[in-house]
Amino acid sequence: MAQTPLEKKLTLQLLLATSFLAALLLFASQIVFWPISLHAPALKAVASPSHLQSYLNCCVILLLLMFFLTVRYLLIKSTKPLFALIAHAESLHTKTGSDRLFPASDSPEISSLGSSFNNLISQLDMQRKETEKLKVRYRAMTESDVSRQACIDQLRLQNDYLQSLHETALGLSGIHDLQSLLSAIIDRATNLMHTQHGFIFLLNDAKTEMEIRVTRGYFETFEHHPLKRGEDIAGHVWEQATVCVTPDYHQWSNGTYHSHHNTLKATIGVPLTSDGDVIGVIGLSSAVDNEHFDDIKIKMMQQFAELASLALDNARLYDSAKKEFIEHTRVDEQFRKLSLAVMQSPLSIIITDSQGNIEFANPYAVQLSGYNSEELMGKNPRIFKSDLTSRAKYKTLWDTILAGGEWRGELQNRKKNGQLYWERVFISPVRDNNGVITHFITIKEDISDFKIMENQLRHTQKLESIGQLASGIAHDFNNILTAIIGYGNLLLMKSPSQDPARSTAEQILAAAERGASITQKLLTFTRNQASNPVKIDLNAVILHVEKILHSLIGDNSNLVVKLSKQAVSVMADSVQMEQVLINLATNVRDAMPGGCTMTISTERVVLDTEFTSSHGIGPKGCYALLTVSDTGHGMDDDTIKRIFEPFYSTKETGKGTGLGLSIVYGIIKKHNGHIICKSKPDKGTVFYIYLPLEEEFTSISSPIPTALPDTSMRNTILLGNSDKESNSYTKRFLEEFGYSVIEAEDSGMVLEVYKKYCNSICLVILDGIISGCKGIKTFREIKSIVPVTRILLCGDPHDSTTKQLQSLFSSVHFISKPFPPKELLMKVREVVKDAP
């Protein structure tokens, strides 16, 4: 077998290496043999040195030859597959098909090298095929310069489209506002297709029509309206859910903008989708002739629409997330406000489970009940029960709320410390999404003060009714007293000084005057307003009611009066001052039914600034001090703090109204005074009443004039009075002094008589009852006849009609009933004398 050049080269290199090794061994043998020949004479006897050296050289050569043959054999054996692979590669160009692959070898190294060689052959084959394709394409491209340029333009256009799509994907992904995104989409679409005319329709919320959302170019000048399925480009795309292209929109039969413009040519509509459903349409138009939307542009617009659809979904999701976030923020804010409102509410708010166990109580509920939150949690609201509410009411409550209704009502409950209080309660069920009652919410308002005011109003209404009744009785009583006093005075005037009947008449007049005083006090009390205060002496007031106070406190109690030697003058209403003393005495009697000692004293004191400031009395200076004390069982500090509250009472239910001391407090405050209570259990009680001191003193009642009127005047008086006895007495008395009197029993008769005798009547005397019926109308008609007519009213000075008439007519005068005859005569004389 002929050797290959590579084998020849390896053989030559092996010969050179063997020759070099032979020379080296020969030289080494000379070096080794020379010392031996010098030091071994015995060898010389066997053979000569030259023969030994020749023998040694032969052995070396033989060894070298064997080495050369052995190495050459091994080398040929090991390199034979490699040489076969090289030979296969060199003859590769003459082979085809599977012959080009190198067969498997026993050697692992050669086998691996052969596998790599085969892979390389396969890659080269593939590249060759691609190269052939490229050659064919290149040959086609280079056949014509026009075709080559068109191909270059097409590649550039595709590159531009891809770049635009990439920028679109990046640009649209960052826009979350829907309208801004739509504007960006149409702008990028028109730029991508190199046109200026476009629009975007979106499906409305009802998904019944397409509505225009953004326009560009000619479409901005068109009048748009919502489109239904199949109408125009957008409706057609919506109906078919696919791209719609027309080469000339003006010639397209389904167009709706023909009447507006005829310049639109090639037009395309591409669907915008979400989850496979059409949600909108992108439309583009060209105004250039012979320009059309080819397959590449259509494909690019479809890809663009996909990106735009993703951006719209993203914007919608963002908008939805934003709205949801805003809604959550709003709900959180509402929840925060609601939480603050519940926690800071001035109403008790309690939430229980369906069994009535408390799960929540706001701070006011905790504060009002006196229980802390830990004590209330898990408890039933029955811990508030006071046993003063009927079981039937509670049964109605539970039946109502368990049936799903709302319950409203008032309950009297009990605090942790045992104190009772009233609540207005509203209870409503709370249901879950399935309508099942899971909780109950209770809203409660503390109406204890309202109940106090309600009781106060009820008592006030009772007092008002009593006052109206007392006022009517007092008026009738005054008419009777007027007749008694009048006839008594007539009897006294007719009786000689030594006549025993004169003493009887005086006793009758004294009793009548006491009755008149009592009537006046009753009227003052029932009017619920202070009389005009005058300067009075407190000592005189106390002496005036001393007997009444003795009878009030009873025989088993003692009354001690210690009055100042000096007059203790104050500006006050004597009747109300008496009321203060009577109320305090009544309080002592009710508090100590077993008896005690009550002491009343007066004195003049000077208060400094320190005392008045610490007690809140007023400015420093001189004060009248009225002290009322008792030796009863006294009061603790908690009771003292509340004794002046309306309707507060320590007495048993049904005994007393709780108004006595509150009235005392009110009267003293109206008189610019101050009251202080000091008491200790089992050590009695003392009330200190301070009133501003007045230096000058005026008696309680004004003296009755004793001078008789001038009887030389003879005039006619019209007397209008519904009470016959009082009318008869007054007529008789006035006639005794020379007046001519004409009677009238009602306002109608008054007007009738006055119209008949108006020229001779100089004075009209009217009773309060007659003036009160149609008083103002009667007065106006009298004044319309004779404007200067003088009118004298008899009755209550605090009557509303009396005050109104006096404010309207300056010629109206007044005299209070019951009146002594001499006072009537003086008043008549005064009014008639002033008449023009």
Higher pLDDT, 658 or 242: 242
What are the boundaries of each domain within the chain?
A: 5-90, 97-138, 165-317, 345-446, 530-694, 716-834
Rounded Cα gap, residues 196 and 215, in angstroms: 10
Buried b (16+ CB within 10 A) or exposed e, 742-769: bbbbbbeebbebbeeeeeebbbbbbbbb
**Which range has highest mean pLDDT (129-143, 246-260, 428-442, 654-668)?**
428-442
Residue 362 has pLDDT above 50, yes or no: yes
Backbone angles phi, psi at 486, to 5 degrees: -65, -50
Using DSSP's 3-state secondary structure scheme, residue 600 falls into strand
Angle at which helices 178-193 and 295-344 cross, to 10°: 170
> Would you state the structure tokens that stand for residue 223, as one six-digit string?
């009048």
pTM beyond 0.75, yes or no: no
- Judge contact between 366 and 372, C-beta under 8 A: yes
DSSP H or E run through 571 = strand 569-572
Higher pLDDT, 629 or 34: 629
DSSP per position, 79-134 = HHHHHHHHHHHHTGGG--GGGGSPPP-SSHHHHHHHHHHHHHHHHHHHHHHHHHHH
Residue-level pLDDT at 546: 85
Residue 756 has pLDDT above 60, yes or no: yes
Using DSSP's 3-state secondary structure scheme, residue 407 falls into strand
Residue 689 has pLDDT above 70, yes or no: yes
pLDDT (average), residues 353-379: 92
CA nearest to 233, candidates 221, 247, 557, 195: 247
Q: Which residues pair with 795 in a beta bridge?
A: 816
Residue-level pLDDT at 732: 81
Rounded Cα gap, residues 180 and 183, in angstroms: 5
> Tell me, what DSSP letter sits at residue 382?
G
CA nearest to 405, candidates 429, 381, 430: 429
DSSP H or E run through 689 = strand 685-694
What confidence tens digit (pLDDT) does each residue in 557-589 have? 888 999 998 889 998 888 788 888 888 888 888
How far from 579 is each of 61, 514, 545, 564, 570, CA to CA, in Å? 166, 17, 9, 21, 16
Residues above pLDDT 90, as percent of the chain: 14
> Would you state the structure tokens that stand for residue 28, as one six-digit string?
């080494």
CATH assignment of 530-694?
3.30.565.10
Using DSSP's 3-state secondary structure scheme, residue 526 falls into helix
Tokens 């014509």 sit at which residue? Answer: 144
Which range among 331-345, 522-536, 551-565 shows the weakest confidence by mean pLDDT? 522-536
How far from 730 is each of 98, 421, 693, 727, 820, CA to CA, in Å? 161, 60, 42, 5, 10
> 345-446: same fold as 165-317?
yes
CA nearest to 630, candidates 559, 690, 689, 582: 559
Residue-level pLDDT at 657: 47
Residue-level pLDDT at 713: 43
Residue-level pLDDT at 76: 67
Rounded Cα gap, residues 269 and 811, in angstroms: 101
Rounded Cα gap, residues 388 and 394, in angstroms: 11
Residue-level pLDDT at 50: 64
In terms of DSSP H, where are the helices of 243-294?
none
Residue-level pLDDT at 799: 62
Residue-level pLDDT at 694: 85
Rounded Cα gap, residues 500 and 515, in angstroms: 23
Tokens 């003063």 sit at which residue? Answer: 388
Q: How many CB atoms neighbour CB 671 within 10 A? A: 20
- Mean pLDDT across the chain: 77
pLDDT (average), residues 10-35: 65
Residue 58 has pLDDT above 50, yes or no: yes
Which range among 77-86, 173-182, 210-219, 765-774 shows the weakest confidence by mean pLDDT? 765-774
- Judge contact between 807 and 688, C-beta under 8 A: no
Which range among 329-343, 383-397, 498-512, 674-688 shows the weakest confidence by mean pLDDT? 498-512
**Which range has highest mean pLDDT (540-544, 548-552, 734-738)?**
540-544
What confidence tens digit (pLDDT) does each residue in 379-427 have? 998 899 888 888 899 999 999 999 999 999 999 999 998 888 999 999 9
What confidence tens digit (pLDDT) does each residue in 420-454 have? 899 999 999 999 999 999 999 999 999 988 887 88
Which range among 251-260, 505-514, 609-618 shows the weakest confidence by mean pLDDT? 251-260
Rounded Cα gap, residues 382 and 355, in angstroms: 12
> Would you state the structure tokens that stand for residue 577, as one six-digit string?
């001052």
Architecture of domain 716-834: 3-Layer(aba) Sandwich (3.40)
DSSP per position, 798-823 = T-HHHHHHHHH-TTEEEEESS--HHH
CA nearest to 769, candidates 722, 715, 821: 722
How far from 468 is each of 522, 526, 546, CA to CA, in Å? 11, 8, 29
Residues above pLDDT 70, as percent of the chain: 72
Residue-level pLDDT at 437: 94
**Residue 25: burial class (beta carbons within 10 Å; 0-12, 13-18, 19+):** middle
Which range among 531-540, 743-752, 775-784 shows the weakest confidence by mean pLDDT? 775-784
Rounded Cα gap, residues 553 and 549, in angstroms: 6
Backbone angles phi, psi at 238, to 5 degrees: -60, -40
Higher pLDDT, 739 or 455: 739
User: Is cis: bond before 818, omega within 30 of 0?
Assistant: yes
pLDDT (average), residues 15-36: 65
> Tell me, what DSSP letter sits at residue 218?
G
What confidence tens digit (pLDDT) does each residue in 292-311 have? 888 888 888 888 888 888 88
What confidence tens digit (pLDDT) does each residue in 788-807 have? 778 888 876 656 666 666 66
Residue-level pLDDT at 177: 78
* 742-747 long-range Cβ contacts below 8 angstroms, 24+ apart: 742/716, 742/717, 742/718, 743/719, 744/718, 744/719, 744/720, 745/720, 745/721, 746/720, 746/722, 746/770, 746/773, 747/720, 747/771, 747/773, 747/774, 747/775, 747/778
Rounded Cα gap, residues 430 and 445, in angstroms: 20
* SS3 sequence of 315-372: HHHHHHHHHHHHHHHHHHHHHHHHHHHHHHCCCEEEEEECCCCEEEECHHHHHHHCCC
Q: How many CB atoms neighbour CB 469 within 10 A? A: 11
pLDDT (average), residues 670-680: 87
Which range among 46-50, 364-368, 469-473, 492-496 shows the weakest confidence by mean pLDDT? 46-50
Residue 699 has pLDDT above 50, yes or no: no
**Which range has highest mean pLDDT (186-190, 286-290, 653-657, 831-835)?**
186-190
Using DSSP's 3-state secondary structure scheme, residue 310 falls into helix
Using DSSP's 3-state secondary structure scheme, residue 500 falls into helix
- Judge contact between 165 and 307, C-beta under 8 A: yes
CA nearest to 742, candidates 719, 770, 758, 767: 719
Rounded Cα gap, residues 601 and 539, in angstroms: 9
- Judge contact between 455 and 422, C-beta under 8 A: no
Angle at which helices 800-808 and 768-785 cross, to 10°: 20
pLDDT (average), residues 718-732: 77
Residue-level pLDDT at 201: 92
CATH assignment of 345-446?
3.30.450.20
Residue-level pLDDT at 271: 93
Rounded Cα gap, residues 714 and 720, in angstroms: 19
Residue-level pLDDT at 530: 45
CATH assignment of 165-317?
3.30.450.40
